[in-house]
Amino acid sequence: MSRRLLPLTITVALFLAMAAFGAIRYDGFLSPQVFLNLLIDNAFLCIVAVGMTFVILSGGIDLSVGAVIALTTMISAALLEAGWNPYAAMAVVLLLGAAFGALQGFLIQRFNLAPFIVTLAGMFMARGCCYLISTESLPINDATYTAIAQARIPVGFGSSLTIGALIALVVVAIAMRIAHSTEFGRTVYAIGGGESSARLMGLSVDSTKVGVYLLSGLTAALGGIVMTFYMLSGYSLHAVGLELDAIAAVVIGGTLLAGGVGYVFGTLFGVLILGIIQTLIAFDGTLSSWWTKIVVGALLLLFCLLQRLFEGRTPKTA
Amino acid sequence: MKRLVHHALFWPAVTLALLLAASSLFNASFLTLTWRDGHLYGSLIDILNRAAPLMVVSLGMTLVIAVRGLDISVGAVVAIAAAVAALMIGGSFSATGEVQSQYPLWLALGTALAVAAACGLWNGLLVVKAGMQPIVATLILMVAGRGIAQLLTGGQIITVYYPPFFALGNGFLLGLPVALWIAGGLWLALHLLLSRTALGLFVRSIGGNPEAARVAGVRSSAITLCVYTFCGFAAGIAGLIVSSNVKSADANNAGQLLELDAILAVTLGGTALTGGRFQLAGTVIGALIIQTLTSMIYSMGVPPEVNLVVKAALVFAVMLLQSPEFRGIVMRVARGNSSKPLDGVKR
């Protein structure tokens, strides 16, 4: 088996092991709906984590995604309140998200600034803008939004998916295609592997770097729309700390934080693992919610140490 | 005059002075200091007192950034230290109506600081021994640390009833806040340590080029490890000040977003994010700028949340000014040499 596939294999195996543990330990765990709920409850995280995968593959990081989600829910709620057509509102927030990401990408690329500090400032900016719109939670009563939120797509065995979860699956499929069989995707891997080599190969490094952050902003806005379906409200404190969950999902999914190595498919399992930890803790009933954080931290540690073992062969110059 | 303008602390100091001047325009009594209840009293003292925890954390962060690192776990460490101290002190009313602490105060404070330093050491080990990127290594403790703090406190806010503990965050010594003495003392100790011994040179050389420093015989691993440990320790001190100030420990909110403020204070103070160059005094000024800004926004009657937008604009401005590429463009435009337009830059 290829050495590169090993982290992904470990991730999938870990997910199956956790599922098996839950099935043995708790009654009613092994039902299709429990597993579909993993996707339904984490649809927005999944979408954002897919965008984050590209950023991390290119060797960068995007800390602004949680705040962009909050801003998206806020702008959606404000536009709907002003009587906008729901689809027009969605288009506007998607455009805004993409523009926000592209601006950050431009600053990072053009002025050679550190991605974490640019996106950190972007995070402050987006959260601050939320508060400028309103400090209260804005409810959404729009008929289209409510209908989408309540829609269930039956998938057999008496279980169903939400539209949000379906969007997440479609995003994963499209992203896998982009990552592995387009020029953009290959360039992202090449930049992560070594930016100067990618440049010497004649790849369009500059536009791809901006594109990566544009994509991350776009997926954050889409994640925000899905979250609006899920929450039916706009609030400045939605998705606080989601950027950390997204990064954790990407890392647990087997993508190297140094960039250049990883799979979008792994990120899906990273998200599912984060979800199943919460489900296991909920099923147990005696463990408090903060155990989630501790377990996620421990898993992050485990995977980072594993990564160091794989990286061991190629010494990195910081 | 030219030397003055080029001094590393010139721009941070000018920014702070402008902010203070602007504040005094909005609030006529802003700069007045009065002597009340045996200590100085006024908005300035209030700012100094409130900025103290940020100063302490930022001093630790300055050194970490100087050795090309980053510590985003400081907020979680603040929460852990506050939780440990609050749990060990607690306080119960004895039969005589006197409040007893659970453990002696020195033991509680010592344990909290030791735990915080251990957190820093852990980060350092991950960076130095496991070779992780600093942002990732400290991300682990940032996620898990808050969970640990919540585990310690059982998710509750732990109230402290033991009055001697309150002195750290609310007390006054010789007319000035105790917290300010702590922050000032820490700065002085660091300043002497880094300017009177070779340590400062070592830290700069590690930040400038870790590999060259190691080859030149600087014990980079040991020093980097110490720097991370110190950063954890500093976060612990801040945790004690914060919990003493509010007389409780809140594992969910103590030190929330503090890591971002600390990084901002360090950047504002003129420390290069790429490592190598650091300004301890600049960091102190940076922390004061942030706190003055916060107080000013409050006193202007603008919703305090606007603070975030202002901070974001500040970060963008500072990092663009630090970027050689941006300076190059500005210089070119300023000289009127527009014959060679760059792609992406109009005219």
DSSP state of A306: H
Q: Which residues of B, range 80-99, sit inside 8 Å of A by Cβ?
A: none
Query: Which of A225, A237, A264 is CA-nearest to residue A52?
Result: A264
Q: Closest to A135 (Cβ–Cβ): which among B132, B144, B303?
A: B303
Q: Which residues of B touch A288 (CB under 8 A)?
A: 150-151, 154-155
Report the residue of A124, A235, A295, A309 to disrupt the B interface, i.e. the one with the largest count of B CBs within 10 Å: A124
The answer, yes or no, to whether residue B172 has pLDDT greater than 90, is no
Report how far residue B183's alpha carbon sits from residue B60's, in angstroms, rounded to the nearest whole number: 11
Q: Do A290 and B143 touch (CB under 8 A)?
A: no
The answer, yes or no, to whether residue A303 has pLDDT greater than 60, is yes
Q: Which residues of B touch A258 (CB under 8 A)?
A: 133
Given CB atoms, is A25 within the 8 Å cutoff of chain B?
Answer: no
DSSP state of A154: E
Query: Which of B68, B218, B63, B78 is CA-nearest to residue B133?
Result: B68
Q: Which residues of B, range 50-79, sit inside 8 Å of A by Cβ?
A: 68, 70
The pLDDT of A14-36, averaged and rounded, is 87
The pLDDT of A65-72, averaged and rounded, is 93
Q: How far is CA B142 from CA A293, B14, B78, B135, in A?
A: 9, 34, 11, 10
Query: Which of A273, A274, A266, A272 is CA-nearest to residue A241?
Result: A274
Q: Closest to A110 (Cβ–Cβ): which among B303, B324, B344?
A: B344
Cβ atoms of residues B235 and B54 within 8 Å:
no
Q: Which residues of B, range 143-162, sit inside 8 Å of A by Cβ?
A: 143-148, 150-151, 154-155
Per-range mean pLDDT, top range of A7-21, A29-43, A48-62? A48-62
Has domain B2-301 been given CATH number 3.90.320? Answer: no
Report how far residue B235's alpha carbon sits from residue B75's, in angstroms, rounded to the nearest whole number: 8
The answer, yes or no, to whether residue B344 has pLDDT greater than 50, is no
The pLDDT of B128-144, averaged and rounded, is 85
Q: Which residues of A touch B142 (CB under 8 A)?
A: 244
Given CB atoms, is B37 within the 8 Å cutoff of chain A?
Answer: no
Residue-wise pLDDT tens digits, B192-226: 998 888 888 888 888 888 888 888 888 888 999 99
Query: Which of A65, A36, A108, A19 is CA-nearest to residue A249?
Result: A65
- How distant is the Cα of B308 from the closest Cα of chain A, in angstroms? 5
Q: Which residues of B touch A112 (CB under 8 A)?
A: 323-325
Residue appearing with tokens 């965008």: A51
Q: Closest to A61 (Cβ–Cβ): which among B126, B135, B141?
A: B135
Given CB atoms, is B16 within the 8 Å cutoff of chain A?
Answer: no
Q: Do B260 and A120 touch (CB under 8 A)?
A: yes
The answer, yes or no, to whether residue B34 has pLDDT greater than 80, is no
Report how far residue B30's alpha carbon sits from residue B41's, in angstroms, rounded to the nearest whole number: 11
Instruction: Say what percent of chain A tops pLDDT 70.
Output: 96
The pLDDT of B266-286, averaged and rounded, is 86
Q: How confident is the model at residue B2 (pLDDT cuts 50, 70, 90)?
A: low
The answer, yes or no, to whether residue A44 has pLDDT greater than 60, is yes
Q: Do B315 and A107 touch (CB under 8 A)?
A: no
Angle between helices B163-170 and B220-246 (to 10 degrees): 110
Classified as helix, coil or strand, A160 is strand
Given CB atoms, is A107 within the 8 Å cutoff of chain B?
Answer: yes
Given CB atoms, is A122 within the 8 Å cutoff of chain B?
Answer: yes
Given CB atoms, is A281 within the 8 Å cutoff of chain B?
Answer: no
Q: Which residues of B touch A116 (CB under 8 A)?
A: 70, 135
Residue appearing with tokens 């060797």: A59
The pLDDT of B236-254, averaged and rounded, is 86
The domains of chain B are located at 2-301
Cβ atoms of residues A79 and A201 within 8 Å:
no
The pLDDT of A96-118, averaged and rounded, is 91
Residue-wise pLDDT tens digits, A149-203: 888 888 877 788 888 999 999 999 999 999 988 999 999 999 988 888 888 888 8
Q: Which residues of A touch B315 (CB under 8 A)?
A: 117, 120-121, 124
ipTM of the complex: 0.76
- Greater model confidence, B319 or A228: A228
The 10 Å Cβ neighbour count of residue B337 is 9
Q: Which residues of A, range 182-241, sit inside 8 Å of B by Cβ?
A: 236
Report how far residue B75's alpha carbon sits from residue B58's, in angstroms, rounded to the nearest whole number: 11
pLDDT of residue B302: 73
Residue B110: exposed, middle, or buried by beta-carbon count in 10 A (0-12, 13-18, 19+)?
A: middle
Report how far residue A172's alpha carbon sits from residue B296's, in angstroms, rounded to the nearest whole number: 46
Report how far residue B108's alpha carbon sits from residue B104's, in angstroms, rounded to the nearest whole number: 6
CA B5, B9, B12, B16 dihedral sign is: negative
Question: Residues near B8 by Cβ (< 8 Å), separated by ≥ 6?
Answer: B270, B277, B279, B282
- How distant is the Cα of A247 from the closest Cα of chain B, in angstroms? 9
Query: Which of B72, B45, B14 is CA-nearest to residue B261?
Result: B72
Query: Which of A219, A88, A67 is CA-nearest to residue A145?
Result: A88
Report how far residue A282's alpha carbon sits from residue A275's, in angstroms, rounded to the nearest whole number: 11
Question: Residues near A214 by Cβ (< 8 Å), separated by ≥ 6?
Answer: A98, A101, A102, A105
Element (H, E) at A51: helix A43-57
Q: Which residues of A touch B273 (CB under 8 A)?
A: 114, 117
The pLDDT of B289-294, averaged and rounded, is 87
Cβ atoms of residues A254 and A157 within 8 Å:
no
- How distant is the Cα of A141 from the closest Cα of chain B, in angstroms? 26
Cβ atoms of residues A265 and A173 within 8 Å:
no
Q: Which residues of B touch A252 (CB under 8 A)?
A: none
Report how far residue A68's alpha carbon sits from residue A238's, in angstroms, rounded to the nearest whole number: 10
- How distant is the Cα of B206 from the closest Cα of chain A, in angstroms? 12
